[in-house]
């Protein structure tokens, strides 16, 4: 995929601030430190786009990036910040929960899970939400360059087992921002669901 243009558009902290649903949206969600910024930059062929928005408090916002004028990448606030108060976490849950299940422009949710660890309780929360959502959903295992071939297979099976408990049949894609693993798979999914 040739990314000619990738620009930060806005940060959204409340439902009313969402842009008009005129472009297809692909959302990225995952615990802080899972490698979300790195994976976004890998997909966009940029060094640091996913860090360049300067709006204050951006970690608690949905950050919209317009790609080639044709689709939005939506970087959801990383959950699992120890510093966020319970009240903020609840607000996070409400906005994100509603976004993931009700947003009409949303075509695909990419949930990042660290390949080195079993899914955490917050990961299972996202899976449970997506079980109730009509939106196509896939799991991207991150940082797979840190694992041997065997361990990569184990990591996929571990996630599949958790998904199977919820009777969920969801694609699991191995990715790495370091060696660009998963680049073609992810773009193929994105192209399929958005038609770009």
Strand partners, 44: none
Q: How far is the CB of 173 from ligand GDP (least distance, A)?
A: 13
DSSP percent split of the chain into helix, strand, coil, nearest 5: 40, 20, 40
Residues 81-110, one symbol each (x = binds Mg ion by CB under 5 A, - = not), give ------------------------------
Bridge-based pairing of strands 62-67 and 137-142 is: unpaired
Residue nearest to Mg ion (CB): 37
The residue among 146 and 157 lying less far from ligand GDP, judged by its C-beta, is 146
117 contacts 147 by C-beta, under 8 angstroms = no
6 contacts 44 by C-beta, under 8 angstroms = yes
Residues 25-44, one symbol each (x = binds Mg ion by CB under 5 A, - = not), give ------------x-------
Q: How far is the CB of 117 from ligand GDP (least distance, A)?
A: 13
Other beta carbons within 10 angstroms of residue 20's beta carbon come to: 6
The residue among 37 and 144 lying less far from Mg ion, judged by its C-beta, is 37
Q: How far is the CB of 72 from ligand GDP (least distance, A)?
A: 18
- Residue 41: strand, helix, or coil: helix
Among Mg ion, ligand GDP, none, residue 76 binds (CB under 5-8 Å by kind): none
Bridge-based pairing of strands 71-75 and 106-114 is: unpaired
* Contact positions vs Mg ion (CB under 5 A): 37
């Amino acid at each position: 995929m040739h990314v000619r243009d990738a620009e930060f558009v806005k940060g959204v902290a409340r439902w009313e601030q969402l842009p008009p649903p005129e472009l297809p949206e692909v959302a990225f969600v995952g615990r802080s430190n899972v490698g979300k910024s790195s994976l976004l930059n890998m997909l966009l062929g940029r060094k640091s786009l996913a860090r360049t928005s300067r709006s204050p408090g951006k970690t608690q916002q949905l950050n919209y990036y317009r790609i080639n004028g044709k689709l939005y990448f939506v970087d959801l606030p990383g959950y699992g910040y120890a510093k966020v108060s319970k009240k903020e976490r609840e607000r996070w849950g409400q906005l994100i929960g509603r976004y993931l299940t009700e947003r009409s422009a949303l075509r695909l949710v990419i949930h990042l899970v660290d390949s080195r660890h079993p899914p955490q309780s917050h990961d299972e929360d996202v899976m449970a939400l997506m079980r109730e959502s009509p939106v196509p959903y896939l799991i991207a295992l991150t940082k797979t360059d840190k694992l041997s071939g065997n361990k990569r297979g184990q990591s996929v099976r571990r996630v599949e087992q958790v998904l199977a408990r919820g009777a969920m049949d969801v694609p699991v894609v191995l990715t790495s921002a370091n060696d660009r693993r998963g680049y073609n798979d992810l773009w193929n999914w994105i192209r399929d669901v958005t038609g770009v």
